[in-house]
Structure 1
Amino acid sequence: MNFTVKDILRMEVTLALGCTEPVAVALGAAAAASLLPKKSFDSIEIWVDPNIYKNGMAVTIPGSGGLCGIDTAAALGACGCDPARGLEVLECLNEESVQRSTELLKRNVVTVNLREESGLYVRSRIVSGENIAESLITDLHSNIVSLTLNGEAVTDSPLISEPNAKTGKNLMAELEEWLRGLTLKDIYELVDELDESDLAFLKEGVDHNLRLAQHGLKYGSGLGIGKGIDRLLKQKLLVNDMATSARRLTSAAADARMSGANLPAMSSAGSGNHGLTAILPIWAIKDFIDHDQENVLKAIGLSHIITAYVKAHTGRLSAVCGCSVAAGAGATAGITYLVGGDVDHMAGAIRNIMEDLAGVICDGAKAGCALKLNTAAGAAVQSALFSLQGINVKDTDGIVGTSTENTIRNMGTLSHKGMIETDKTILNIMLEKEKNRKR
């Protein structure tokens, strides 16, 4: 099956309110709760994969009054969320639903179970009197594959994602398979397919992510990296060049998002932070070069496609920081495009950032992610500018392949096979920390 650039944008670029891992948990619980005639719950039980667990432990949930945790996300989803909202499911929260959720948590009726197998997985089971409702999300954060009520499958719900009748695969799996077969030249040529409606949609993404950045710069949310860079600029300890501007804007948005700002991000490849990294460094450098808005937006479109391309190889969730190697690759390709580079320059820029940031681990979603987005944004600018100067990593170096495509495939192998034990070790460290805090 062949796809178009519109398909990629429609499937890979979407609004998400809050970190997408607790959002997936809230969505699953909300979907199960929607099947129940009464909204009083005797118990809520959740099963999640290691990466959902890792990314849902410490990040603040928007609209919750500063709460965090997978159990909290499940309670909030069940008590006051509309599953039809998808990744914006938390938008429905209010004081009453937060209070009801808090009471459930105090009663200790919400249980979270860690599933040992990898691969995105969220199963929710809610008991309400004599009724038992269940939902299952797999592969993608919003991909509800089954709903059951009292053991009977609910097949007529619009919430359920239907697989392709011929292949048995969901549409996203088919898109990722198609993406993996593309070359960088193929992707570069897709940019010419972007029309006015696509560019308007891409500008909408810029506007959403800029609001998060402005919130972070104004309030110094989270770690306050963006606002800290502002202070350093005023003290003349930093210079406002392209890299600093990219780091300032991107980290400020991450500051706001990771601290639970009640503003949606335009996500990329299933992650809001990927969306911040794919969009904001490109927008930040436009003031340093001659440009028109159409080319800026085309560069952002290219960034989203490259991000999706890398994620198709590395997987949705892993021990590798996708903001660094996937969205970072997208951003550096977009920056290269915007400053006049060709497809060969883009290839060099992507290899540069892969060599630079391949070792950045994902140790869960939290305020500290702003540091990693800060690094990725700066590296995206640097990698692009180096490539334009003929500075490119050679294929004799480490995991760098004989082509950009081979390099990304090697990154996928590292992510899927090489980082399995690393991922387990990261989670064990985090679980031990959590256990010690509760003592």
Structure 2
Amino acid sequence: MLDADFCQVELAEGVDNLFIEIYMTSENHTARVIIEQSHTNLTYVERDGEVLHEHHSEVKAKSETCDMSFQSIYDFAQTGDISGAIPCLEQQITYNTAISAEGMGNNYGSNIGQLLLLDESNPSLELLCKARAAAGSDARMSGCPLPVVICSGSGNQGLTVSMPIITAAEQLGKSQEELYRALAFGNLLTLYIKSGIGKLSAYCGVVSAGVAGVAAVAFLKGDSQQIIEDTVSNGLANTSGIVCDGAKPSCAGKIAIAIDSGFMSYKQARLRKSYEKGDGIVCNSVDETIKSIGVIAREGMKQTDVVILNEMLKH
């Protein structure tokens, strides 16, 4: 359709990140539709000049921050009643494992998951975590119709946070209860980090999901709270700045990089080589570092988003 000059795409100026305005014409009719602030928030519908629907949502006024903290997430995952979340977590295990296996066994995108295991007869746990998460993205980004259980509104983030935890639980022989609690921890931590970044940003979402997934592996293994906190801070310091240029095959590569950085950050924490306050964007606490990342993503990368979109529209 693009080759046939079926449509034209332009970047809207002076609007929120999540904004889509569509003009359509046929031989006898015209239509105009606007979606903004939320993926399903239809705010304007017009046909042949007649306004059929107009609604200005209050979504814009809501804060992007949340009431969670690292401590509240950690405590809940350790001892809280997670029974209500188990059906969703079980679905995440089933669906995300299935699409990961599909990507690992078939030809999708750049086959990053398969490439990572090339010539590896006895892959390490770290390598398996990277490969299985990337393989799920390989399939998802290249048309596989299998479902994925998301996190932070993103299938790639759902795969990035869950597959390292699922893989580690299998390899280490952890119980179902331990797996559920680690998944609860990882998913909530991803949501917490992403809440300050916003729904759409030039900041790549798998960075937060990757470090959260590895932090949850540390949680699963029974490491101390301090090691887990340091893993998060180290990981955000290491890979924040990877840009989002849309959903496409190279997301799988970014997933592998994010998880790899997470494991390096975990090793730093275990060996007491973590970054200290004042080392770049590292703050006094993990919560402050997460808050700082949100500011950088929302404010510092706002113009980056515009530049990326304009470059993408050139081709």
TM-score interval, smaller chain: 0.7 to 0.9
The ranges of structure 1 where at least 4 consecutive aligned residues each deviate by more than 6 angstroms after the TM superposition are none
Match of 1:381 in 2: 263
Residues 263-412 of structure 1 aligned to structure 2 (within 5 Å): 263-324=146-207, 326-412=208-294
**Match of residue 116 from structure 1:** 13
The residue correspondences of 1:19-418 to structure 2 (distance < 5 A) are 108-117=5-14, 118-127=16-25, 131-149=29-47, 150-154=49-53, 168-169=58-59, 173=62, 176-177=64-65, 179=66, 181-191=67-77, 192-234=79-121, 239-324=122-207, 326-418=208-300
CA-to-partner distance for each residue in 1:268-309, whole Å, 9 max, x for gaps?
Answer: 112111111111111111233242112212211221211111
State the identity %: 27
Alpha-carbon contact 2:95-2:148 (below 8 Å) kept = yes
Q: 2:136 is matched by which residue type in structure 1?
A: A
1:36-82: CA deviations, max 9, x gaps? xxxxxxxxxxxxxxxxxxxxxxxxxxxxxxxxxxxxxxxxxxxxxxx
8 Å CA contact 1:328, 1:377 repeated in 2: yes
Aligned-pair Cα RMSD in Å: 2.6
The residue type equivalent to 1:287 in the other structure is E
Q: For residue 67 of structure 1, what is the aligned residue in structure 2? A: none
Separation in 1 of the partners of 2:150 and 2:40? 13
Asked whether the 8 Å contact 1:220–1:227 carries over to 2, the reply is: no
Note the alpha carbon deviations across 1:102-128, whole angstroms, 9 max, x for none: 5xx576343322112351111233345
Describe the shift of the 1:143–1:209 C-alpha distance in structure 2 as closer, same or farther (beyond 3 A): farther
2: distance between equivalents of 1:145 and 1:269?
A: 23
Shift of 1:217: 0.9
Shift of 1:233: 0.9
Runs of 5+ consecutive residues of structure 1 not aligned to the other structure: 1-101, 435-439
How many Å separate the matches in 2 of 1:291 and 1:359?
Answer: 34
1:266 offset after TM fit, Å?
A: 1.5
Whole-Å Cα distance in 2 between the matches of residues 376 and 233 of structure 1? 21
The whole-number CA distance in structure 1 between the counterparts of 2:223 and 2:191 is: 21
2:157–2:206 contact (8 Å) kept in structure 1: yes
Q: Residue 263 of structure 1 aligns to a residue in which SS?
A: coil
Residues 141 and 270, structure 1, Cα contact 8 Å, conserved in 2: no
Query: Displacement of 1:258 after TM fit?
Result: 1.5
Matching residue of 1:18: none
* Structure 1 position 382, deviation (Å): 3.4
Which 10-residue stretch deviates more, 414-423 or 222-231? 414-423
The residue type paired with residue 214 of structure 1 is A
- Asked whether the equivalents of residues 133 and 159 of structure 2 are also in contact (C-alpha less than 8 Å), the reply is yes
- Structure 2 length-normalised TM: 0.88
TM-score by length of 1: 0.65
Query: Contact between 2:10 and 2:313, CA under 8 Å: does it hold in 1?
Result: no
- Alpha-carbon contact 2:21-2:33 (below 8 Å) kept: yes
- Displacement of 1:429: 3.7
Counterparts in 2 of 1:295 and 1:364: CA distance versus 1, 3 Å = same
Indicate the larger mover: 406-415 or 136-145.
Answer: 136-145
The change in CA–CA distance for 1:145 and 1:275 in structure 2 (over 3 A counts) is farther
Decide whether aligned partners of structure 1 residues 145 and 282 sit closer, same or farther in structure 2, where only a CA change above 3 A counts.
farther
Work out whether residues 31 and 45 of structure 2, in 8 Å CA contact, stay in contact via their aligned partners in 1: yes
Cα pair distance change 1:109/1:425, threshold 3 Å:
closer
> Distance between the aligned counterparts of 1:228 and 1:169, measured in 2?
42
Q: Deviations over 1:193-239 (max 9, x none)?
A: 453341121120122112221111111311112112333213xxxx5
2:165–2:179 contact (8 Å) kept in structure 1 = yes
Q: 2:120 aligns to what SS in structure 1?
A: helix
| Matches of 2:134 and 2:286, distance apart in 1 | 27
Aligned partners of 2:19 and 2:35 also within 8 Å: yes
Aligned amino acid, residue 234 of structure 2: N
Partners of 1:298 and 1:170 lie apart in 2 by 33
Q: What is the one-letter code of the residue matched to 1:139? A: Q
